Amino acid sequence: MSDFRNEFISFCIDCGVLRFGQFKTKAGRMSPYFFNAGLFNDGAMLGRLGQFYAKAILAAGQPFDMLFGPAYKGIPLAASVAIALAQAGRNVAYSFNRKEAKDHGEGGRTIGAPLAGQVLIVDDVISAGISVRESVELIRAEGAAACGVVIALDRLERGAGERSAVQEVRENFGLPVIAIADLDDLVQYLGARPELARELIEIEHYRQLYGADAHA
């Protein structure tokens, strides 16, 4: 596991963003862990989060021209990632959308730089893929092209079928999905810490029940 992935998981636990226990998911499953990116809610946490996104993007080597953050969670994410990339020597523009188009003032559906070229979508997680679909449609409507999606955590968990939401995005839109960390990274992290052995057992059991088939 890359050092930044290990550091990211530790960071999430320290911030209370990644928690262990019993949590009911939208699908009605009882998950032994819960990831809530909305709890990255101060300047220091958001700044460091942006740095982790930037490291994952640069490590992936995915070509892109600018960033797009889907409202609402994607807005601060895209801004923080743009800042972190600039600090790392890669200055790129970013844009985000309004939930409703504005017909006065500057108008339009987006705020920030005009969508152009190859656009990398920045979000927290992919659950049902609805946000990605809406983002891809908006980007195309503006004459640009979506070139990938970057998220914080890939749960590697199947949806209604055998595939995960991330796998469905890759297949349905032909887009690569970059994750700072995924469930395999979390399992490796827990396995190196005897004090978290109980959490590891619970997560391994959950993965046996709901983990996505890597070949689906």
**CATH number, domain at 190?**
3.40.50.2020
Is 215 domain-assigned?
Answer: no
Answer with the residue of higher pLDDT: 165 or 181.
181
Given a cut of 80, whether residue 15 has pLDDT beyond it is yes
Residue 102, domain member (yes or no): yes
Give the domain extent around 175.
3-210
Residue 71: the pLDDT is 93
Show Cβ contacts of residue 117 under 8 Å, excluding neighbours closer than 6 positions. 64, 65, 66, 144, 145
Catalytic site includes residue 24: no
72 within some domain? yes
Please give the average per-residue pLDDT across 156-174, as a whole number.
Answer: 89
pLDDT digits (tens, 9 = 90+) for 116-153: 999 999 999 998 788 899 999 999 999 999 999 999 99
Mean pLDDT of the chain: 93
Region 173-186: what's the mean pLDDT? 96
Q: Find the helix packing angle between 3-15 and 43-60, rounded to 10°.
A: 160
Residue 103 lies in a domain: yes
What's the whole-number mean pLDDT along residues 6-31? 95
Q: Which of 24, 55, 73, 102 is catalytic?
A: 102
> Into how many domains does the chain fold?
1
Does 50 map to a domain?
Answer: yes
Per residue in 63-115, pLDDT tens? 999 999 999 999 999 999 999 999 999 999 999 998 776 665 555 789 999 99
In a domain, 192, yes or no: yes
The answer to whether residue 23 scores a pLDDT higher than 90 is yes
Q: Which of 26, 99, 104, 215 is catalytic?
A: 104
Q: Is 205 among the residues known to form the active site?
A: no
Calculate what percentage of the chain has a pLDDT beyond 90.
Answer: 84
- For residue 216, is it within any domain? no
